[in-house]
Structure 1
């Protein structure tokens, strides 16, 4: 199932300025994007490892949207109670502006332009496939000289990375000129529960 629209463009690749192996499946890297955006990407094993880091244009059409996939027969907003899901909720959802838990996919976005934001994703250990965490940034550009033709706005896929079953991945994005941000967790499969939190 596709959870996003077709107006997503791929951004230029980042340069890794720092890579740190914290040991035992726990790693951190700092990425610098050509657009001036900087991201801190950190990942580790669910339940066992905590993160080492903390972290005026028209809004995008899905601004502030938070949703997740659900298996047939479950109502929206149901709280998962498995050990990992409870751990994620207690660890990452406390103080988050958005937290969604569901099956296969989840999406969170800021409800206003921000200078920084962190998306934290987890794929349950019961899963058999990696999920992919995407970080999208809302961009608007002038269509013609002096913006005579108005603006064209679209999501730019700024970064994406794999979330291995039983692991979490955190991406802290710093946007000096304030941007709308969106995090998408997709592709984990209907046999696993996923979690996604957004702090901004």
Structure 2
């Protein structure tokens, strides 16, 4: 199932201002966007690493909604090898989170209001055979004419995306100079792979 919204537009690419290797597949990167937004991207191995970082406008459609993919038909429940990973993710990232979804192949969640900062944390189960992709979308509204006489047009802007390797998590902490609605999408891990997604804002 594809969950990509047809109204998603691509934003300007960011500039990496800092890159830190914390060792053993644990890394951190600070990104600066042309819009003035800043993001801290951090990734590590599931169960082994925890993050080193702390982490009112027109409402977009489906604001605050949470969804996750369903288990593939015929999937052997006994073959699930990542139950401990999923429990670890829930205990580590879902406590204190405003949204937390766990499912198969894909997950999506977003803020229920415009915020100045928000963190999306995604994990793809170690049983996976392909990477998932974590997308960070920002709700933008622009004037449709001089002095907004034609009203405004609103749409999601894909602000960033990155790969989530099976058995690993990826965290993206976004800071905006003015409050924005944020949405995180984890897609493409495969119907035989458990995924988790949490949002803190």
**TM-score band, normalised by the shorter chain?**
over 0.9
Other structure's SS at 1:12 match: coil
Alignment of 1:94 onto 2:73: no
Other structure's SS at 1:19 match: strand
1:72 Cα deviation after fit: 5.3
CA distance in 1, matches of 2:136, 2:146: 30
Name the residue aligned to 2:189.
188
Name the residue aligned to 1:137.
138
Stretches (4+) displaced over 2 A: none
CA distance in 1, matches of 2:160, 2:5: 17
Name the residue aligned to 1:148.
149
- Superposed CA deviations along residues 153-189 of structure 1, whole A, max 9, x for unmatched, are 0000000000000000000000120000000000000
The 1:60–1:23 alpha-carbon spacing in structure 2 relative to 1, beyond 3 Å, is same
Other structure's SS at 1:83 match: helix
CA distance in 1, matches of 2:115, 2:65: 15
CA distance in 1, matches of 2:194, 2:40: 25
Listed as ranges, the matches of 1:17-96 within 5 Å are 17-71=17-71, 82-96=83-97
Contact 1:57 1:140 in 2 (8 A): no
CA distance in 2, matches of 1:197, 1:28: 18
* Residue ranges of structure 1 left out of the alignment (5+ in a row): 74-79
1:139 Cα deviation after fit: 0.1
CA distance in 2, matches of 1:66, 1:56: 20
Name the residue aligned to 1:116.
117
* Residue ranges of structure 2 left out of the alignment (5+ in a row): 74-79
Other structure's SS at 2:126 match: coil
1:56 Cα deviation after fit: 3.5
**What's the TM-score once normalised by structure 2's chain length?**
0.94
